Amino acid sequence: YQRRVHGDYSFGKMSEMMTFNIDEGYTEALVRCMKKTFLDEEDYNALKSATNLIDFRTALEATDYEEVLQNEPSPIPAARLQTILKQKLADDLNYLQSQASSPLNDFIDLMRHGYMIDNTVYIIEGIKNKVEFADLLKRTDPLGDFPGMKTLKAAENENYANVYQTVLIDLPVGQYFHKFLEGILIGAPNKDISSIETVMKDYTQEKTKNLLKKIWLTELNKFCTTKFSGPSREIMEDLLRFESDCMRIQIIYNSIGNKELSQSIGREAERKKYIHSLGDLYPGRDKELTDANTLDKLKAAVAPYDVYKRMLENVADPSKEKEQDFNSEGKSIDDYMFEEKAKKYALAYEQQFHCACFYAYMKLKEQEIRNICWLAELVTLNTAKNVFGWKKIVVPFKDIYQHP
Amino acid sequence: INAEYMGIHLIWKDTASKMFRSEEMGLYSLVISKDNAWDAMNEIGTKSSLHFLDLNAKGQVFNRPFTSYIKRCDETERRIKYIEGECEKFEIKRSRPKNVSDFLNLVSRLQDERRRAGSTLLDEYEAEIRGKEKFLTDQAKNYQSMKEKYLHLIQTKLVLDKSAEIESKYRNENRDIGVDDRAQALLPGQIKLTSISGVIDSDECDRFKKLVFRVTRGNSLVSFFDLNMEVDPETELEGRKSIYVVLYRDGEAVKSRIIKVCDTFGKDRYEIPDNIAEVTKRTELEAKETKSLIILTKKERMKVLREIVEAVGDSKISKIIFQKWFIAKEKAIYTTLNMLRPENTFLSGLCWCPLKSADSISQSLENLKKERSFVGATFKKIDNHKLGPPSYVRVNEFTAPFQEIVSTYGTPSYREVNPAFFTTVTFPFLFGVMFGDIMHGLVIFSIGLLLCFGKDMLLKNKSLFASLVKARYLFLLMGLFATFCGVIYNDFAGLNLNIFPSCYHALKNEDEHVTVNHTDNCLYPIGIDPFWKYSHKQLQFENSFKMKLSVILGVLQMTVGVILKLVNSVHFRKTLDIIFEFIPQMIFLLALFGYMDAMIIGKWLTKFEDTSKTPSVIPAIINLFLGGGKVGEQENIFGKDLQEQLNFIFLILIIITIPVMLLPKPIILNCMHKNQIHEDQAQALPEKASIESEPVPEIGLKAYLSLVAKKEEEFSFSEAFVHQLIETIEYALGTISNTASYLRLWALSLAHAELSEVFIDYSFVKIISMRAPPFFNFLILLYTYTMLAGITFGVLLCMDVLECFLHTLRLHWVEFQNKFYKAEGYKFNPFSYETTLSSYTEEQQAFTSYHTCLLYTSDAADERSSVDLGGRRIIKKK
């Protein structure tokens, strides 16, 4: 990785370095300044030593979040806290975006499409389950906020085809739905828009989201390879490859306990649908991964890659059911992935003149919010301070130089 | 003589000595019981002389004992801010206390009246403000909902108006009503059209149109109209909105779909009733009523706010402002209390206190003990600590700006000679040397006078110049010295003043040749003879004079700097520094540049008969090195023999001083260090035992020491040597380049003189010598005069003043202060109501907040390694 990112520069890259600041110098400077706002170990220690939510808030007010917490009545429950912090992140991103020009501007848009997909799928699902629309809007992720979100209300009492035709098509995420529906219609007997309703019955919220995300990631990758050049492209490609590898490993890992998916037919047909054709593991380890139906096989399949091997080294076997809770020892595969991802994103800050640090910034901040909310939960539950859960937070930039 | 001496002695003791060194500090431990902590701290706040050390720095913020009080103060402050915002909205004036002591008197009076513990006043005010804020927010909410209702009514009326308009026009088969031709094409025959209308944000028009189009599959028509609402000042309505009208073919399915879409975008949807006119009338009436209600509510709010700004007691201070100050004061008390360590029922703290004020503090604590009969407040001095005390230089209105100039470079180390003592005079003087001009100097002087006498008025009006008031004495002195130097240069905005009779007179011979004769035994009383103006050698003469003057002044100032190093070394008892730094440095400076100055003065005092054979100083100095001390024809100033002998002695001295500066100090330090280790080892065992048997030192001190614990610096010979090497090189080369640097005194003064001369030449002298007809001349002069005034103001009085100021700053920071000033101290920052609250007073609010920043003087580059921005030394001992 180091060699790939810090390799020698051809003239093209040099020219990008020379001209980058003309358009994005200020924006990049901003995002680099924002690196200062990340909570460090000491801040987290202060948060950890809090015994109730009021203390927790006091400790959090010593950080960059002070401003947004000021007008909140105390104590702030964890759920509300998450919304506030995410809203701040969204506002900061909006601010960055308002300074950016093309293609960075489009890139930030595209970055946030992932969250928009989450929100859209969530709202549609909620409407189907007759949840109050206002409540749904409140519970969306501020990162994936878009102006037309409330038009989704028109989806009430409509079938999927209609929803697509009237509402989704005009949303920023419409293109993904378009591709998604096209994709699922291929397998349908009747390739007509009217058959969507029947086909969609097979797709739960999770499945839809996963497929949409897959399409989105491919689009994002395409954007990075076509619109970016030089370091922006290199680093973004690298990050996306890593992310899609992680997604792939996670999907396979999660499917291991599932009987239907770990049988060979399920593996070939069903599981593969959700898996990207992107990343370091494709196509080199594709066959091995497709065959993997136990944790050991999965481990063997990713063994050539140090990072992934490390990730899977200590995880619990999903086929042996074990509940994760606040008190459980050991980390889940998610925790390992967050850790490795945080390292990767932090590395993106190492180089100058590129757009990937905006992506890294967003992801790292998201991780930070996840940390804070996790700690807030622990504080709320009055968890004993010696429980392993307190250690389950990822502090970025801490051990960037210990990376092998 | 004795009386005179006594006078000087008094001045020194009263004022000057306070400035010469920072005040002597002692470390004190303060132990107070928790119950009386507030009272004690309240007393200490009025004294402004304890600088507390934070003993809880390691712990979490929320674990400190008084954090909850601070939170409460914050909360109340937020509420007060809200109330003040409301007052601002209704333009209700509030009056502040005149100064901090006024306020404190009022507080103590109120506390005495109440006959209860002073700390409970906070609870009272907190509750009161909470109530007021709640009332106001409720009112505001009420007001807002009423406003919304009003808005809704107005919108309804406008939408109804529009619909009526469209309907009537449609009935008359009029096509151009904003509904385009497609409407007609869409509606064959007699299909009944229905409409839905409402109000949405203008930004959402496109999205709305699209969605309706999709929902109705194109079988509808949407038109938008800007909502032209006059913004009513009484009700403060705003926002850009549009009215939409959807025309569609009647049908329940379509209708419900469209309604769903409309509701998605906003709640303002209106069904069009049949009897539009009637409904409109009714709405109008209702709107009127709501409006009067709104006005009524507003009056109610005003009334409450007026109550809030009523005066407290018999003073003229508004209640809300009084409470704001009070809360700030409480917060300061609790913040300071938070620095103390709780021990059982006591709080123990560490603080620095000027030795002079210690008595008054312990006295007032004693009094408090008697009055309030509380136990255990002790205030004791701690000796044998290894902490570095803060530097506290008392300033007054006169010395403050000069101290600021010095402190911007760095706070003086504890008890080090404070350069500001000298800067008070040298700063304006060197400025004057550069800016020397009678007229311009007088302008600056009069600005200084204006600031001095108009101080109160300027502060009251918060005028633009209020920020200059602090520096008024600086201006005054700068103007004074500029005028003085102007007199010496005989320069009045580019003209020479002919006040006294000149010592020269010109004689015109028959062949039009002019000869100049000097009157015998004539001496021009002060400054340069104005007759020089007519000489073509004027510039040469003045340059030579000013150049030499600059070097003399520079060497003088640097010599003072080196002497101050001696003063510092004596004070801190650093014998090594005296012998191996001060003495060689002094010799180096005097043997080289002191000698040069002597030559300059010697040359001035000698009358040379043959002007073509006058010796010059520069080759003489160069030959001191290159010629091995031989004195040539053009270098003979003091007489050949004497000068050769002097040259020889000085050359030897200069060469010797360099190794003296470089070698002995690190070697001796190294030996001392080795001896130290030796002794330590020899005494290791008994000493250890003695430590254990020693009684436990003050608890607070121990705690603090554990907080700031640092590793003792290891002595390393190589480091000491390299440091000394750099110091030596810096000093030797620095002396030369610093002397050269003082030439800026000449350069800037030359620039000033030349500029003003050029300006006046081209605006007046040239015009007058044109001998144009008087009226024409008058017009041109009117024009050029304005130009001259503008240019003089812009270039000479703004830019040049700034430039001279900057260069003076640089000469002080770099050339003068690098000889002795360490600037490694930190400021004494006592807990004081005066400083806490002064930011709220009128005077302070008149000053725009001004930041100090280091200035980059472009030619700092010629100081090589020793200087970065603003002449701060990079190489300091770590």
Span A48-72, pLDDT tens digits:
888 888 888 888 888 889 888 877 8
Tell me: the pLDDT tens digits for A280-326?
A: 887 778 888 888 888 888 888 888 888 888 888 878 777 665 555 44
**Is residue A3 over pLDDT 50?**
no
Interface of A with B in 368-387 (CB under 8 A): none
DSSP annotation of B175 reads -
Q: Say what the alpha-carbon torsion angle B253, B255, B258, B262 is, to the nearest 10 degrees.
A: -140
Which of the residues B60, B68, B70 would you substitute to probe the A interface, choosing the one with the greatest number of A C-beta atoms within 10 Å? B60
Interface of A with B in 310-369 (CB under 8 A): none
ipTM of the complex: 0.75
Q: Is B71 on the interface with A (CB under 8 A)?
A: yes
Residue in B closest to A167 by C-alpha: B211
Tell me: the pLDDT tens digits for A329-359?
A: 667 888 888 988 998 898 888 888 888 999 9
What pLDDT score was predicted for residue A59? 87
For residue B678, the distance in angstroms to the closest alpha carbon of chain A comes to 42
Handedness of CA A66, A72, A76, A81 (dihedral sign): negative
What pLDDT score was predicted for residue B851? 43
Q: Show residues of chain A in contact with B71, CB under 8 Å.
A: 58
Q: Show residues of chain B in contact with A41, CB under 8 Å.
A: none
Q: Is A165 on the interface with B (CB under 8 A)?
A: yes
- pLDDT mean over A93-97: 93
Nearest to A46 by CA among A57, A37, A35: A57
The continuous run of DSSP H or E covering B658 comes out as: helix B640-662
What pLDDT score was predicted for residue B228? 66
**Is residue A37 over pLDDT 60?**
yes
For residue B833, the distance in angstroms to the closest alpha carbon of chain A comes to 25
Q: Is A46 on the interface with B (CB under 8 A)?
A: yes
For residue B510, give Cα distances in angstroms to A184, B175, B416, B515. Answer: 118, 106, 70, 11
Q: Show residues of chain A in contact with B264, CB under 8 Å.
A: 150-151, 153-154
Say if residues B298 and B292 touch (Cβ distance below 8 Å): no
Burial class (CB in 10 A: 0-12, 13-18, 19+), B131: exposed
What pLDDT score was predicted for residue B184? 53
Nearest 5°: the CA angle A81, A82, A85 is 85
Q: Is A159 on the interface with B (CB under 8 A)?
A: no
Strands B193-201, B269-271: parallel, antiparallel or unpaired by DSSP?
A: antiparallel
What pLDDT score was predicted for residue A69? 87
What pLDDT score was predicted for residue B239? 61
**Is residue A380 over pLDDT 80?**
yes
Which of the residues B56, B58, B61, B62 would you substitute to probe the A interface, choosing the one with the greatest number of A C-beta atoms within 10 Å? B62
Q: Which of A49, A148, A165 lies nearest to residue B207, judging by beta carbons? A: A148
Residue in B closest to A165 by C-alpha: B214
Q: Cβ B260–A55 below 8 Å, yes or no?
A: no
Q: Which of A54, A62, A151 lies nearest to residue B207, judging by beta carbons? A: A151
Q: Which of A55, A165, A170 lies nearest to residue B62, judging by beta carbons? A: A55
What pLDDT score was predicted for residue A2? 42
Which of the residues A136, A150, A157 would you substitute to probe the B interface, choosing the one with the greatest number of B C-beta atoms within 10 Å? A150
Say if residues A50 and A56 touch (Cβ distance below 8 Å): yes
Interface of A with B in 89-148 (CB under 8 A): 147-148
Q: Is A48 on the interface with B (CB under 8 A)?
A: no
Q: Is A241 on the interface with B (CB under 8 A)?
A: no
What pLDDT score was predicted for residue A105? 92
Rounded CA-CA distance A325/B764 in Å is: 92
Interface of B with A in 45-64 (CB under 8 A): 60-63
Q: With b meaning 16 or more CB within 10 Å and e meaning fewer, what string describes B749-778?
A: bbebbebbbebbeebbeebeeeeeeeeeee
Residue in B closest to A156 by C-alpha: B260
pLDDT-based confidence at residue A362 (cuts at 50, 70, 90): very high
Percent of chain A whose pLDDT exceeds 90? 20
What pLDDT score was predicted for residue B431? 96
What pLDDT score was predicted for residue B170? 64
Say if residues B68 and B295 touch (Cβ distance below 8 Å): no
Q: How many CB atoms lie within 10 A of CB A133?
A: 18
Residue pairs between chains A and B whose CB atoms are closer than 8 Å: 50
- Ranges of residues in chain B with a pLDDT under 70 are 1-4, 14, 115-118, 167, 169-193, 228-239, 250, 267, 273-274, 375-376, 683-700, 703, 707-713, 842-878
Residue in B closest to A47 by C-alpha: B60
What pLDDT score was predicted for residue B160? 80
Q: Show residues of chain B in contact with A154, CB under 8 Å.
A: 211, 215, 257, 260-261, 264
> Model-level pTM greater than 0.80?
no
Which residues have C-beta within 8 Å of that of residue B301, sequence separation ≥ 6? B86, B90, B136, B139, B140, B143
For residue B213, the distance in angstroms to the closest alpha carbon of chain A comes to 9
Interface of B with A in 240-259 (CB under 8 A): 257
Rounded CA-CA distance B700/B709 in Å is: 14
Q: Cβ A58–B263 below 8 Å, yes or no?
A: no
Q: Is A52 on the interface with B (CB under 8 A)?
A: no
Q: What is the DSSP string of B1-35?
A: -HHHHHHHHHHIIIIIHHHHBPPPEEEEEEEEEGG
Q: Helix B100-114 crosses helix B319-337 at what angle (to 10 degrees)?
A: 90
Q: Show residues of chain B in contact with A147, CB under 8 Å.
A: 203-204, 207
What pLDDT score was predicted for residue B392? 92
Give the three-class secondary structure for A245. Answer: helix
Q: Cβ A46–B60 below 8 Å, yes or no?
A: yes
- Taking the mean position of all CA atoms in its chain, how far away is CA A11? 34
Residue in B closest to A168 by C-alpha: B211
